[in-house]
Amino acid sequence: MTTAEMDHGFVIESRELSKRYGERIVAVDRLAMRVRRGEVYGFLGPNGAGKTTTLRMLLGLVRPTSGTALVLGARPGSPESLARVGALVETPTFYPFLSGRDNLRVLARHARTPETRIEPVLEEVDLAARADDRFGTYRRTAWTPRAWRRCEASSAVSAAAGGRCSSPAT
């Protein structure tokens, strides 16, 4: 599916999207989905129904076995789609023994984002002074009053790809 084939009223579109683990485990089976701008879309189902796997495919964190998808007109996980998407899927994890900076390097490489984005992101979330500390030593929210933001450390994923953290509504 290409951008030209996508109905521009949809922000997410998938066709025959599937994910298999090995020969016997089918996590997602031929998902066809269209979500229009402004719609609220929820995934309901029991454990193992494929909800998290679908989200991970749409974010480019897991490659589908077959099928296609577009997120905001771009391939899932591409810099174009990640720059406009922020997500926390289940419990976000980082490598606890790597520094914050090194975790962002790993994410930047995965997202094909220039490493030059790392320092501005660390500044934006007030972690520049602790960038070389192991991630496992960070508190869940470690922002100073100057940059009080409703962003957890994992929001840097979106920011590393060009997104921005946002201040809470007052």
Q: What is the pLDDT along the chain (170 residues), one digit of tens a residue?
A: 554 555 567 999 999 999 999 989 999 999 999 999 888 888 888 888 999 999 999 998 889 999 999 999 999 988 888 888 877 777 667 788 889 899 889 888 877 788 999 999 888 888 899 999 988 887 654 444 333 333 434 444 444 444 444 444 33
What pLDDT is stored for residue 167 in this prediction? 40
What pLDDT is stored for residue 8 in this prediction? 64
- Contacts of residue 55, defined as CB under 8 A and 6 or more positions apart, other chains included, come to 43, 87, 89
Domain annotation for the chain: domains and CATH numbers: 3-77 (3.40.50.300), 100-160 (no CATH)
**Structure-token match 């599916």, residue found:** 1
Name the strand (E) or helix (H) holding 101. helix 100-110
| The dihedral sign for the CA sequence 52, 56, 57, 61 | negative
What pLDDT is stored for residue 168 in this prediction? 41
Residue 122 burial by Cβ neighbours in a 10 Å radius (0-12, 13-18, 19+): buried
What pLDDT is stored for residue 91 in this prediction? 67
